[in-house]
């Protein structure tokens, strides 16, 4: 069964002014769709032809990994947003963030620094380790923490296509806007 571009849980213009409809149209509608199309073209005749996306992310390499991970990463990223919803962590995740980082403000500062300082293209992640503790990690290119046995909780796409139309080369400005559209109700369920 071919992979499909998942529907967004909000309208393409719902995240404005923080992420424009134009960016959603390009980032989701063109980039994300291209990864889905590429993956569908790459997997026939391989051991991953009927594999779940998570298996592809964990076990493949080369073009299959790059496109499969980008499908997974982008889906996870876009599903973290909403035009409304809690703008701070709730429940057990809120407790874990405070315990690990000292405060939500300190976490935001460290996560933002991780995303802003990642050289080139890639992803900043908040992950849960096997012992239940939290960590912020950087993954270049299509990197995904599932490959290291970590549980993704939150990610920020720092490929330029995620923000260039709205923020040009000002990645810190994009990160400042990023915090205004996160749906911590949805994110907290991942913990």
Residues 124 and 178 occupy one common structural domain: yes
Residues 121 and 154 occupy one common structural domain: yes
Q: What is the CATH number of the domain that holds 37?
A: 1.10.287.990
CA distances from 165 to 21, 58, 130, 181 (A): 10, 32, 38, 17
d(CA 54, CA 140): 18
Q: Which of 13, 45, 78 is the last residue of a domain?
A: 78
Answer whether the bond into residue 17 is a cis peptide, omega within 30°: yes
Is 5 a member of any domain? no
Sheet holding 134-140, edge to edge: 134-140, 122-128, 151-157
**What's the structural domain count of the chain?**
2
Is 3 a member of any domain? no
Is 2 a member of any domain? no
- 153 contacts 136 by C-beta, under 8 angstroms: no
Is 59 a member of any domain? yes
Is 68 a member of any domain? yes
- Whole-number pLDDT of residue 95: 97
Q: Sign of the C-alpha dihedral, residues 7, 11, 14, 20?
A: positive
- Whole-number pLDDT of residue 54: 98
For residue 44, the enclosing domain spans: 21-78
Is 1 a member of any domain? no
- Whole-number pLDDT of residue 116: 98
Q: φ, ψ for residue 134 (rounded to 5)?
A: -105, 155
- DSSP three-state, residue 130: coil
Which pTM does this prediction carry?
0.97
Residues 30 and 105 occupy one common structural domain: no
Residues 64 and 35 occupy one common structural domain: yes
Is 103 a member of any domain? yes
- pLDDT per residue over 57-90, tens digit each? 999 999 999 999 999 999 999 999 999 999 999 9
């Amino acid at each position: 069964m071919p992979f499909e571009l998942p529907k967004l849980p909000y309208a393409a213009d719902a995240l404005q002014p923080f992420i424009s409809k134009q960016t959603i149209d390009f980032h989701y509608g063109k980039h994300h769709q291209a990864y889905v199309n590429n993956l569908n073209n790459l997997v026939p005749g391989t051991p991953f032809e009927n594999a779940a996306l998570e298996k592809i992310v964990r076990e493949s390499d080369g073009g299959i990994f790059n496109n499969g991970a980008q499908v997974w990463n982008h889906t996870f990223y876009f599903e973290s947003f909403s035009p409304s919803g809690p703008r701070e962590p709730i429940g057990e995740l809120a407790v874990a963030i405070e315990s690990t980082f000292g405060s939500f403000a300190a976490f935001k500062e460290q996560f933002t620094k991780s995303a802003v300082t990642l050289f080139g293209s890639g992803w900043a992640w908040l992950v849960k380790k096997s012992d239940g503790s939290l960590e912020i990690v950087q993954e270049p290119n299509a990197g995904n923490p599932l490959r290291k046995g970590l549980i993704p909780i939150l990610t920020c796409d720092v490929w330029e296509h995620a923000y260039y139309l709205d923020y040009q080369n000002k990645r810190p400005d994009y990160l400042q806007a990023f915090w205004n559209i996160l749906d911590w109700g949805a994110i907290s369920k991942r913990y």
